[in-house]
Amino acid sequence: MGDVRKNPKKNEMQVRLHAKNTFTIIMVIGFVYLAYLIFFESGDGMPEIDVDLKDVISYAVLAIEMGGHAVTKVHEENTLNAAAKGLTDEGKEELLTRADLISNHLILDILQRFPRLQVVSEEKASEFSERELESYRSDNYAVWQSVKETLDRIPSRRLQLSDVRVFVDPLDATQEFTEGLTEYVTVMACIVVDAEPIFGAIYRPFYNETIFGLQGFGVVTSDGKTLTPVDESKTEKKVVVSRSHAGKVKEVIQKVYGDKMEIEAAGGSGYKTLRLVNGTAEIYLHTTAIKKWDTCAGDAILRTMGGAMLDLEGEPLRYSAADPILNKKGLLSTVLTSGNMSANWSEVVDFVTSKSASSFLPRGFPERATTLPSQFPVATFYFKRFMRNCYQK
């Protein structure tokens, strides 16, 4: 950033002021865009706006951490209330709605620094008075300070704002949140260019842990540690599945892997992705419909690690404005491991198309699953093995 000349002569002030200046400059960027827009909007048509991906990423990370802190505050508040009064079902519902909406509001607030940025969120924007929000807002300078060093390492890349979409999940694992199972709760943001998620960030507010992945850069924690895939031999032989639809998946896993894979029911798509990332699970399987703000950030992180989320027709998920938000075709996700990547897709397709489809696979599976997304060799390998085993037993 070009703020060196603004540094004061006094040495002991330099470090802090340098950081503060950089922060201020970033905060100002949004307003410069606004001015830019107002200036050009008098003309015909929309002007193309150029953004630095790095700035959008910085705001997205700041946003989910702010949202996440609010989620923990709503939770604390309610733990006190619940201890005093006991929490009814209605009370739980209220708690959830409040945490979700406040987190969403704070996130959108920060992302609005980029006027006209397309944001796809699970929640609609809602009105809160500044007084109401005040107690949930953390000091955004302090939050930004804690991730700044890592964000500074991200290379600059110019993009047209109209090509960028941000997916936001202000509170993932909502059911678990109301049950007090806070280890599953995450807040996520994801940046999509065209149909592809290129950046994803997952924040675990109750553990104050953030990881993010940028394609071509890598996956890092907010304190700067680079995460690489765990070797397959050291990866736990576990399939993580949703707590709410575990029943049907168990049948499938049993059929495909017999007793070789343990099944663990866990809440939240963000959380399950984190389990793949640190090698405490090998596969994340979902056989029912799932919304794309639940998968986008995890998908970006897994792609960055050489893995992917494929639907159960073997296709990578697409996130363009033309694609539906609801993915009805299930998920099979893995990270890069040292597994055998040379298994033969066309053999699997031949095999699959020669049998009648099982009841648990999406209708029409054999006809559709004929293309091999070659950019995801590892996930595709798992997918092939999975499908082969499905149909052989």
Ligand X SMILES: *[C@@H]1O[C@H](CO)[C@@H](O)[C@H](O)[C@H]1NC(C)=O
Q: Which residues are annotated as part of the binding site for Mg(2+)?
A: 122, 169, 171-172, 294
Between CA 116 and CA 118 the distance in angstroms is: 6
Residues contacting residue 18 through CB under 8 Å, at least 6 positions apart: 3, 4, 7
- 51 versus 334: smaller Cβ distance to ligand X: 334
**Cα 8 to chain centroid, rounded:** 40
CA neighbor of 279 nearest in space, from 337, 208, 214: 337
DSSP letters, 72-109, are HHHHHHHHHHHHHH---HHHHHHHHHHHHHHHHHHHHH
* Residue type for position 279: G
Mind spelling out the 3-state secondary structure of 104-135?
A: HHHHHHHHCCCCCCEEEECCCCCCCCHHHHHC
Q: Nearest distance from residue 44's CB to ligand X, in Å?
A: 47
Q: Which of 156-164, 286-294, 342-350, 369-377 is the region at the interface with ligand X (rule: CB under 6 A)?
A: 342-350
- 97 versus 280: smaller Cβ distance to ligand X: 280
Residue nearest to ligand X (CB): 146
Instruction: Give the length of the chain.
Output: 393
Q: Nearest distance from residue 325's CB to ligand X, in Å?
A: 26
Q: Nearest distance from residue 257's CB to ligand X, in Å?
A: 16
- CB of 68 closer than 8 Å to CB of 146: no
Query: Which DSSP category does 372 fall into?
Result: -
**Cα 364 to chain centroid, rounded:** 29
- 208 versus 392: smaller Cβ distance to ligand X: 208
Query: In this chain, which of 129, 156, 233, 342 binds ligand X, going by CB under 6 A?
Result: 342
Query: In this chain, which of 132, 139, 152, 223 binds ligand X, going by CB under 6 A?
Result: 223
Q: Nearest distance from residue 271's CB to ligand X, in Å?
A: 6
Q: Nearest distance from residue 274's CB to ligand X, in Å?
A: 4
Query: Which DSSP category does 204 fall into?
Result: E
343 binds ligand X (CB under 6 A): yes
- 59 versus 271: smaller Cβ distance to ligand X: 271
Structure tokens at 47: 């002007």
187 binds ligand X (CB under 6 A): no
The interface mask with ligand X, positions 242-281, x = CB under 6 A, is -----------------------------x--xx--x-x-
Q: Nearest distance from residue 27's CB to ligand X, in Å?
A: 19
344 binds ligand X (CB under 6 A): yes
Query: In this chain, which of 347, 358, 367, 370 binds ligand X, going by CB under 6 A?
Result: 347
Query: In this chain, which of 346, 358, 375, 392 binds ligand X, going by CB under 6 A?
Result: 346
22 binds ligand X (CB under 6 A): no
372 binds ligand X (CB under 6 A): no
Query: Any long-range contacts for 36-43 (C-beta under 8 Å, 24+ apart)?
Result: 37/115, 37/116
Between CA 141 and CA 326 the distance in angstroms is: 36
Which residue ranges make up the site for ligand X (CB under 6 A)?
146, 183, 204, 208, 222-223, 271, 274-275, 278, 280, 340, 342-344, 346-347
